[in-house]
Structure 1
């Protein structure tokens, strides 16, 4: 109980620190063009979900529903769907009773083009965020929200309601053109993230975004249009709790850098310090890749680690991470040197720099929401989705300097050309598991000449199916010696390799000949003489005996009774000849009997034979 109380107190201390931090609410303009009584430009807060139209504007007319005014329930019959030739509908919704995201989702299903949420208290504008994990909300709809959302003040909302009640048409222009800075021809952006993959929908959204956005991010970075930096949030354990079970489980470097337990259960699964270590490993990977002039490799590492080393499969380990790093050709020793000693009672330079970067400088404000994109020192708000983020980045270039990728939907890269994309490859046949797609490369075992390869696509692929031996001998061992060829590939096996009889080994790298004579596996009868051959053996018998291989024995002393080998051979020939002649004679006899009976039957139809009565006359007389 005391440990739990300490944990609660430490959480409150952290929350207190965040509350006193400088969190910046990202805003855009809302310009009302009618009625005249409301004309003017106002500010609204961009919601941290949906799709803000960064770099553009959106015009619509406002509707305030007569019922379900907090939008916590579905709207029937899509009442907000605009008619042909009409303005898009911006639905005005009251704050309270349910999550902001649920309001937006219900409004979107009702046909709204945007949602304006009216604050229910007099206060500075706040950022509407997505529900936290464990909130008991059915939040699988959050990623489906694709309309923009904004929070407006209670005063502005009240004025709009009064105008609508009088019958006035309220026309609004939502303007995101200045929502993000766009000072020059290069965009600098940061991605504040976390390596924990078991935090529910937010973690799923985060890794899906990384996978989808990777191709665009790498293209922009390679061509020098952007400068990207990943960051990781950690906190420190208060001095009073450094020796507590919680801090020892969640922190490294004597409580200096901490992350929450992934399962919020200290008795099972991974610990918070495991997350901190992987965060540090990812930050160091970026540093080493950036120093080598290839910062875009960070996207490959994050994607591959999430696929190959997930927590749910108990592969979220340093060993698995090292395998991913090696497959990408990055210097592992430099990364380990960067990581340093997590048990040292000293600052880690990388994580200390990350904690310093969390504090806002200039207009950015503190970073407290995960995940967060910071573009040109302004925090991105809205759905973490490829098209929306790419639009925000493109809006952050100085006018007329944006790259062509911002002007066309076509965006194709071939990541398999360098280091085979970190995927498996058979250099002898040039067969590769790397496949380039619009969203970036995937490591997937291929199908070659109707032969399917199976494996993880990163370190191993092997041919499977009935025709697998046609492709590189199925990846199995094959050897030729003295004109004889043996293979460990068997066509009727779906996969795997097995050394043929007479050999032993793994069937892949090698198969070694078995010396049946030395190991006394065959030709062991008293009269036998054994000689080993490659893949087999020869066995002969002494004293004129005959060797039977199936029974591994010598039989028959025929030499003394039949005048030697020659007599035996002639005896066998004579017996075979006699058998053939007897069979032939019996065959001729049977044929002759058959022909005789057939001829007699035919002749009996036309004339009586000696041994048949004259039935014809009897039949005639009977008529």
Structure 2
């Protein structure tokens, strides 16, 4: 019996080795995701350096974090607990970053111990001369699994040479201030984020599976809001392995694989003698991919139904309840109005000795391309072709997605108070504003000062100190920022659609025409002796104009700024009327003469032309020309 157990264990070990070999064949390119680190002081170290984002905790995607570096005098590797509040900042102080050496314990353990002592971030110094590596989390360690979900600070690995320089500066009692910058850690090319979630339908793999299940449930609502609004393009993926040719006929491969060893998944319980097999897991993985495909290709498209199906399947079809399988899965699909027949057709025959295009594609895209590395562990989140680093948490992942949008194109959910701080709420972000119109635009990555577009009118300027309305209709938007005033029912404005920009005081006013500085002031034509200066005139200034009265029943003649006899004025007016009538008569007579002249000229020209042409050919008006002929034959 003992010998049989040893043989069985050997076969399992061989299969494990074969699977590992298959994984290596599928993968091999791991990309280290980096963030920027800028040293602000001392002067000798000022500059920008590279650092690798830790694959746990919460990186501040899209943001920055500044602080001072502290290197402990004891427990330099951070494997033990630090004194209480050892790295905690006092009120008014800058955050403190713990500088810890690599070695002797898990990276995550170091960060957890520093966080417990109040550190705002952790920098781990490599203990060997090599390029940057990613600090991974010890997922399989039962002790680490208890504190991993609670790590809430960012961490980064720095190379040994740079770390030694920081230690030297600190030993010399110099203040080392740095800024960690994640603003460019996530690409943000446009107004839509594309992201992938690599997962597994297995719910019996311990804390890792529990975290995936919890994340899908918690993130479902956010994911569906983003997808329905067209803000994201989501794609689910599932890691699959293949069984090496030498093991295809083995009992283990037959239990863990479908399509004759082409697509495999590990045994859920890691025990081939009980429970579910890997082939049931890979079949359910395929079913979930087909649910997404069918929902995405339906009319109308409903790709977000994947989240509904997976969430309900995790609740209703758990392995521990012996409900994991096609019967329960199809009950879930029917309840969500997903086409069961279309999903079955998509799955095809798992027993066929042939490729399955859906699963073959999963193996192909598992291999990294461009800036995206290979996918080798679960779960993996890829956002805009960059692998997400950090814990699988709803808020942390949403912040990473929000960091992937081009500035000013953020969806509303990214601008909520729980996700980011509205910088425009504090002193308008230092941007230009006038009344309710502002150049400050709040974005997840920080405020942007950009002159606005209001009711179809574009404001132009630097966005910080100046914005001005341009184009037609600008006077309808806060009067174009120009002065305006009404007195005793009389309205005057310095904004005119005749001018596409700028403010200009109307006739009778002077000033800078601005709405907020100076505006327009009435010109006193009387005091300045600009109008009504005739000897018999009395000038009275009015708002925007003036009044001029003449003595002795004289009439003020505005055009010439003079007083004239009222009767003379009337006779002059009558003279003007007579003159206009005579002028009109002459105009009519001249026009008539011109018409008669043109008519006679044309008649004369016509007769001359006809006379000339008659010399060369007969005309219709001339009668028939008699032709002489003999015997009916015309003479030549």
Give the TM bin, normalised by the shorter chain: 0.5 to 0.7
Residue equivalent to 1:245? 251
The answer to whether the 8 Å contact 2:19/2:242 transfers is no
Contact conserved, 2:31 with 2:374, CA < 8 A, in 1? yes
Q: Which moved more, 1:120-129 or 1:218-227?
A: 120-129
Q: 1:410 to 1:53 in 2, by over 3 A?
A: closer
Aligned to 1:353: 361
Pick one of 54, 68, 72 that aligns with 1:65: 72
The Cα shift of 1:199 comes to 1.5
Counterpart for residue 286 of structure 1? 292
Pairing 1:4–2:12 present = yes
Q: Which residue of 1 is the match for residue 197 of structure 2?
A: 191
Which residue, out of 35, 41, 44, partners 1:34?
41
> Is the aligned partner of 1:100 residue 2:141?
no
**Equivalent in the alignment of 2:390:** 382
Residue 76 (structure 1) shift: 2.0
Instruction: Give the corresponding residue for 1:226.
Output: 232
Secondary structure of residue in 2 paired with 1:269 = coil
Q: For the structure 1 residues 224 and 59, does the alpha-carbon distance in structure 2 shift closer, same or farther, using more than 3 Å as the test?
A: same
Alpha-carbon deviation of 1:138?
4.0
Equivalence map 1:206-355=2 (5 Å): 206-292=212-298, 293-355=301-363
Change (3 A) 1:154 1:410: closer
1:161 aligns to what SS in structure 2?
A: helix
- C-alpha distance in 2, partners of 1:294/1:194? 21
Alignment of 1:56 with 2:63, yes or no, is: yes
RMSD: 1.5
Contact 1:6 1:241 in 2 (8 A): no
Q: Distance in 1 between matches of 2:307 and 2:291?
A: 10
Q: How is 1:173-192 mapped onto 2 (pairs within 5 angstroms)?
A: 173-192=179-198
The answer (yes or no) to whether the contact 1:394–1:402 under 8 Å persists in 2 is yes
Give 1:105 deviation, angstroms.
1.1
Q: Does the 8 Å contact 2:109/2:144 carry over to 1?
A: no
> Aligned partners of 1:339, 1:137: CA distance in 2, in Å?
40
For the pair 1:404 / 2:412, whether they are aligned, the reply is yes
Partner secondary structure for residue 234 of structure 1: coil
Is the 1:192–1:370 Cα contact (8 Å) retained in structure 2? yes
After superposition, the C-alpha distances for 1:115-172 in whole angstroms (9 at most, x for unaligned) are: 1111111222111111132x34342111111100111111111111111111111111
How much has 1:12 moved relative to structure 2? 4.0
The aligned residue for residue 95 of structure 2 is 88
CA distance in 2, matches of 1:236, 1:186: 34
Say whether the 8 Å CA contact 1:60–1:87 is kept in structure 2: yes
Determine the C-alpha separation between the residues in 1 that align with 2:136 and 2:85: 25
1:51 deviation in Å?
A: 0.5
Pairing of 1:465-544 with structure 2 (within 5 A): none
- Give 5+ residue unaligned stretches, structure 1: 412-623
Aligned match for 1:110, one of 88, 109, 117: 117
Partner of 1:387, secondary structure, is helix
2: CA distance, partners of 1:210 / 1:302: 8
How far apart, in 1, do the equivalents of 2:13 and 2:297 lie? 45
SS in structure 1 of the partner of residue 11 of structure 2: helix
SS across alignment from 1:218? helix
> Residue 138 of structure 2 is aligned with which of 117, 131, 144?
131
Q: Secondary structure at the match of 1:90?
A: strand
- Cα distance in structure 2, aligned partners of 1:203 and 1:166: 48
- Spell out structure 1 runs of 4+ moving beyond 4 A: none
The count of residues paired between Structure 1 and Structure 2 equals 409
Secondary structure class of the residue paired with 1:324? helix
2:138/2:144 contact within 8 Å kept? no
Counterpart CA distance in 1 for 2:208 and 2:286 is 21
TM-score by length of 2: 0.63
Distance 2:242 2:131 in 1: 30
Instruction: Give 1:129-168 correspondences, 5 Å limit.
Output: 129-133=136-140, 135-168=141-174
Q: For residues 369 and 170 of structure 1, what CA distance do their matches in structure 2 show?
A: 37
- Hey, what's the Cα distance between the residues in 2 that align with 1:5 and 1:401? 52
Structure 1 or 2, whichever has the larger Rg, is 2
Report the Cα distance in structure 2 between the residues aligned to 1:129 and 1:313, rounded to whole angstroms. Answer: 33
Alignment partner of 1:53: what SS?
coil
How big is each residue's C-alpha offset from its partner over 1:314-354, in whole Å with a ceiling of 9 and x where there is no partner?
Answer: 21111111111111110001001000000000000100011
Distance in structure 2 (CA, Å) of the matches to 1:36 and 1:198: 54
